A and B are shown apart, each in its own frame.
Chain A
Amino acid sequence: MVSSNTTAGYAGGRDASVPKYSTGIAKVVNSALYRHTLGAAVESRIGRVMLLTGVPLIWLVMMHVGPIYQMLKISLLSHYPVQPGVESRFTLDNYAIFFKESLYFTPLIKSFIFATTATAVTLVVVYPVAYYVAKIVKPEGRSKALLLLLVPFWAGELIRTFSVIMLLANRGAVNVLLREIGLIDRPIPMLYTSFSLGFGLVYLICLYMLLPLYSAIEKIPSQYLDAAADLGAGPFTRFRRIILPLSKDGIVSGCSLVFLTCIGVFATPMLLGGPTTVLFPETISGFFHGASDKWPVGAAFALIMLVTALITAGIFMRLVGGKKRSAF
């Protein structure tokens, strides 16, 4: 791995008599600046630990925890951003507003209904596809079969949402086709309804379901299925008794991923939804654009959404996932 001449350079990194190498890292390592700063630091255990932990821990605490913490803090204030002359005090009113007004309550319920339905539909639609690629396609062809499914994935959230409009608009492909074959006289209004939003959500997220399911199903040894078949189990029994239980991990991670993504989708409801499909992200967004005084309410609502979404995902993991729990 390490060639002999550069090794000599490192070995004598702190010895001035060793010839200096002028290329790449050897030059840096042999420089006086390096030897007196970083080079000296990593000589001691404490220096190494500082170097290893410093930046990552600061980043994680500042940027991964910090924003959530600040959101929590502001959700408990009566006023933010701070204005001169107005005293900001601790209050729980921002949370109370949510429970008082059905105007705010309904979008959250709708968000949950849409996310849950989309997750369920996605699971049912994608499972056979994942099974087909993992178990029926021959190993040589698997990456190709998977890659074909991944192509639309690279189109991005907004472009995929936009492309759904081409399909469902009043003069979109579906309506024009139906009219051509004489099934309908006037276009069926599909765009800007719950249907178009649901369709768009499923279209947007179905690939997040594919990969977890695929990797779980692929791990199931084919011998199990052969053995079950030899013992007389039909296709349905094999699916119910072997494949389904053994792919549970994939179902759990796929569903959680899809659910949490769905809940936080912002652009899709704005492009595909109508006035009756205002979801919670749009409600929250209203508190940040326009009257800036309402930030604490927006923060409180975002937290309500975060907590309910994580609890829902957690309950689902518990129910389906059973005992096996590990972060790694």
Chain B
Amino acid sequence: MRNMFADAPRTTLTAFYWAFLLYLLLPLTLMMAMSFKDANFVAFPIGDWTLDWYAKVMQDKQFLEACLYSVMIAAASTLAATTLGTWIAMLIVAEGIKGQVIIFALACLPAVVPGMISAISLRIFISTIDMPTGTAAIILGHTVHAVPFVVVMALTRLRSMPGNLVDAARDLGADSVVAFFRVTLPYLKPALVGGMIFCVLLSIDDFVRTFFLGGYRPTLPMLIFAKVQGGMSPEINAMATLVLVVTAAVGLYAEYLTRRARTR
């Protein structure tokens, strides 16, 4: 049965997959390679190699401050988004509440509004409530952005939860708050940890919301954007490579966690 002809689509698809992977990885690999170039202009071929740009980046106060600022904003918005997202998911699966389809649609709204428009509407919104641009506004914007993803992740897990777990806890005398914290929350934990890491990456990655809601203190993407507009230098490559390595490691870890949660 097996002949060359029957295998042709399979071989083509395999080749296509690897070509696509190469396409995905090539620009990033080039970007990383360029960070080792021993010259202060960005151009191929690379010629001499150096680690000087990394040394320079690690001493760059602006970069370190931007890192710290980004992490702080990510932590705050993740905490807020996880709490709110879980709460909304609990409301959607609750029995005896009407209009759950509408609540779900509202919860997903920020995920379908294009990023630019979401940023503009938030900029207008904070001005109508007299909130200044800056840290608090950025955190609010990132939280709005992240909530739909937490809701969807928490819902997926909640739907797979046997209903009698909470019933059993209630029969044994736990009130609904206790049942939530002792039974539902531990069950949700794997999904929430994956969701939280996703929120952190969303926040660290976000450019457009920060651009409209931020003050003068730059977050990481703002800093890189400003530097790229100011002129190319392998220093930016070194900066981007550092950020890429850290976020990719965190992302892979999140993948591993959600995968483990699913198989359990």
Report A's interface with B, CB cutoff 8 A: 1-2, 6-7, 10-13, 25, 29, 38-39, 42-43, 48-49, 51-53, 55-57, 59-61, 63-68, 70-71, 74, 81, 125-126, 128-129, 131-133, 136, 143, 145, 147-160, 162-167, 169, 171-173, 176-177, 203, 206-207, 235, 256, 260-261, 263-267, 270-271, 281, 284-285, 288, 295, 298-299, 302, 305-306, 309-310, 313, 327-328
Contacts and interface: CB of A to CB of B under 8 A. Distances in A.
Interface in B118-166: 118-125, 127-128, 140, 143-144, 147, 165
A10 B252 contact: no
B242 to A, nearest CB: 10
Which of B9, B20, B124, B169 counts the most chain A CB atoms within 10 A?
A: B124
Contact of B44 (A57, A67, A173): A173
A57 B98 CA distance: 13
Contact of A156 (B34, B44, B204): B204
B124 to A, nearest CB: 5
B45 interface: yes
Contacts of B247: 154-156
A129 B17 contact: yes
A271 B120 contact: no
A266 B44 CA distance: 28
A267 B208 contact: yes
Contacts of A302: 116-117, 120-121
A162 B27 CA distance: 9
Nearest to A167: B27
A260 B224 CA distance: 25
A83 to B, nearest CB: 13
B176 interface: yes
Interface of B: 9-10, 13-14, 16-17, 20-21, 23-28, 30-31, 34, 42-45, 84, 87-88, 90-91, 94, 97, 101, 103-107, 109-110, 112-125, 127-128, 140, 143-144, 147, 165, 168-169, 172-178, 181-183, 201, 204-208, 211-212, 221, 224-225, 228-229, 232, 236-237, 240, 243-244, 247-248, 250-252, 255, 259
A100 B173 CA distance: 68
Given A266-B208, A288-B212, A25 B114 contact: no
A65 B109 contact: yes
Given A65-B106, A203-B27, A266-B208, A143 B259 contact: yes
Contacts of B107: 60, 64
B172 A266 contact: no
Contact of A163 (B31, B44, B183): B31
A264 B13 contact: no
Contact of B144 (A64, A74, A267): A64
Contacts of B25: 151-152
Contacts of A55: 84, 87
A246 B18 CA distance: 25
- What are the nearest 5 A-B pairs in CB distance? A264-B114, A154-B251, A11-B173, A171-B43, A67-B121
